[in-house]
Structure 1
Amino acid sequence: MIFSRATYPAALLACAASLALALTACGSESETAATSTSTTTTVDPADVFLPSPEQQMPDPDSGCPSSTPASTDAPEWTLPGATGTIAVTGATDTAAPRIDVQTPFSVTETQVKTLKEGDGPVVADTATVFVCYMGVNGRDGSVFDSSYERGMPVDFPLDGVVPGFQKAIAGQKVGSTVAVAMVPADGYPEGQPAAGIQPGDTLIFAIKILEASR
């Protein structure tokens, strides 16, 4: 087994932004958006939840920190899986989360852990939420999407995301940091090639809930 560390390296281009938030959709059509200095491939919003430019603009008071967490910080959640193990350290006001993976990691049922409970209202299962998050593939320990990399929170309705993401957030309090290890059926059972996700991959997310509205 390989013990690898995922601390928000450059995983995908902006094309995969908010890939974690997609409906469990099929297909992988893409389109290319050109700028004067670079070319960025984006996934078709019909296949993957992709926030609009307005959604991707960070709240000046609620950015996603990109600093590496201290290596001495103790994990808040250690979970042995059916195979492999994960150790998750939640984000703070100044540092991104850390997800260490002993690969390949897999679970047979989706598991959610509240790393730190907030003091805000409880999030309804149909709420629109404003979050920072990091997604890691249990198969190889790679980060496939991270709003912490971009420094930009994202907002989306919970009834428009993969089931595992909804299970992680609904019922939590605003201000909480949570983690989820989700079975393929709660993520991308058919895989998501644009993110390097294969059928059968277990996904792990570390999430900070900044705001929620009904």
Structure 2
Amino acid sequence: MTGPFSVNQTQVHTLRAGDGPVVSNNATVSVCYMGVNGRDGSVFDSSYQRGVPVDFPLTGVVPGFQKAIAGQKVGSTVAVAMTSADGYPEGQPRAGILPGDTLVFAIKILSAS
């Protein structure tokens, strides 16, 4: 990647479709993921680096994560490029995210309940 990457609307791509049940909008999911900042290509968060999946309710995460996971099948791997509005509109200084940054996530959906 040569320069900053940004999108003007959140885009979700299924990289590999799973064969599990469809994830509902209000499911609690277990995922592995990696997040990259489109502005500079830096990895700002990775459950892979920590070596453990992350569990959370879809109702308690940024809209871009919800859009990426809800409606997918368990076992799927998805990529999402989310606008700042669907990520951290005010930025997230701890993670080096500035207002306006496009965020790109690769997400593997392990389970949903």
TM-score range, shorter chain: over 0.9
SS in 2 for 1:185: helix
Q: Which residue of 1 aligns with 2:96?
A: 196
**TM-score when scaled to structure 2?**
0.98
Tell me, yes or no, if structure 1 residue 159 matches structure 2 residue 59: yes
Where do 5+ consecutive residues of structure 2 fail to align?
Answer: none
CA RMSD, 1 decimal: 0.6
**TM-score when scaled to structure 1?**
0.52
Letter in 2 for 1:196: G
Letter in 1 for 2:24: A
The size of the alignment, in residue pairs, is: 113
How far apart, CA to CA, are the structure 2 residues paired with 1:190 and 1:153? 26
Q: Which residue of 2 aligns with 1:135?
A: 35
Q: Which residue of 2 aligns with 1:183?
A: 83
Q: Which structure has the larger Rg? A: 1
SS in 1 for 2:94: helix
SS in 2 for 1:103: coil
Q: Which residue of 1 aligns with 2:8?
A: 108
Q: CA deviation at 1:103?
A: 2.4
How far apart, CA to CA, are the structure 2 residues paired with 1:129 and 1:163? 15
How far apart, CA to CA, are the structure 1 residues paired with 2:62 and 2:7? 17
Q: Which residue of 1 aligns with 2:24?
A: 124
**Which 4+ runs in 1 deviate beyond 6 A?**
none
Q: Which has the higher contact order (CA 8 A, sep 6+)?
A: 2
